[in-house]
Amino acid sequence: MTNTNTGTGVGTNANANTAAAASAGSRTTSSDKMGEKEYVTDLLNSEKLLCSTYNTAIIEAATPQIREDFKSVLMDQFDVQNTIFMAMNEKGWYPVDPAQQNKIQQAKDQFPSSVLNA
């Protein structure tokens, strides 16, 4: 197998592989395309990951100012995530059943009142 350098740091075999990959990637079927629901679900999942990452950054922040800056950005991201969730919920893509009052009370009973009122 001969690999000639083209002066770009990439040999001809790499160029051939890249062209083959690009050609294969251009063949799509209708099942490969994301619909609106899948796109928005992916967007919501990305926001969740981003919020988790900012949360870790807040915990690990080296200075109080950086911590406050990350907290501010995280709060903005929570708003974006909520907007996406609400849009999905309105379209029926992320239905949420209202909590039953007795289940809410059971959850509250698991914790001392001092924790709930803090």
Which range of 5-14, 85-94, 98-107 scores highest in mean pLDDT? It is 85-94
φ/ψ (deg, to 5) at 90: -65, -35
- The three-class DSSP label of residue 32 is coil
* Residues of the chain above pLDDT 70, percent: 69
Residue 100 forms part of a structural domain: no
Residue 70 forms part of a structural domain: yes
What value does the mean pLDDT take over residues 55-74?
A: 97
What kind and span of H or E run contains 56? helix 36-60
Residue 64 forms part of a structural domain: yes
Residue 65 forms part of a structural domain: yes
Q: What's the pLDDT at 111?
A: 82
Angle at 71 between CA 69 and CA 76, to 5 degrees: 100
pTM across the whole model: 0.60
What value does the mean pLDDT take over residues 94-113?
A: 88
The number of domains in the chain is 1
Residue 88 forms part of a structural domain: yes
Q: Please answer whether residues 100 and 107 qualify as being in contact, where contact means their C-beta atoms are separated by less than 8 angstroms.
A: no
Residue 116 forms part of a structural domain: no
Tokens 């990637």 correspond to what residue?
Answer: 25
Residue 72 forms part of a structural domain: yes
CA distance 29 to 22: 15
CA 116 to chain centre: 30
Crossing angle of helices 64-90 and 36-60, rounded to 10° = 160
Residue 114 forms part of a structural domain: no
- The three-class DSSP label of residue 81 is helix
Rounded to the nearest integer, the mean pLDDT of the chain is 79
Q: Which structural domain range is residue 79 located in? A: 33-92
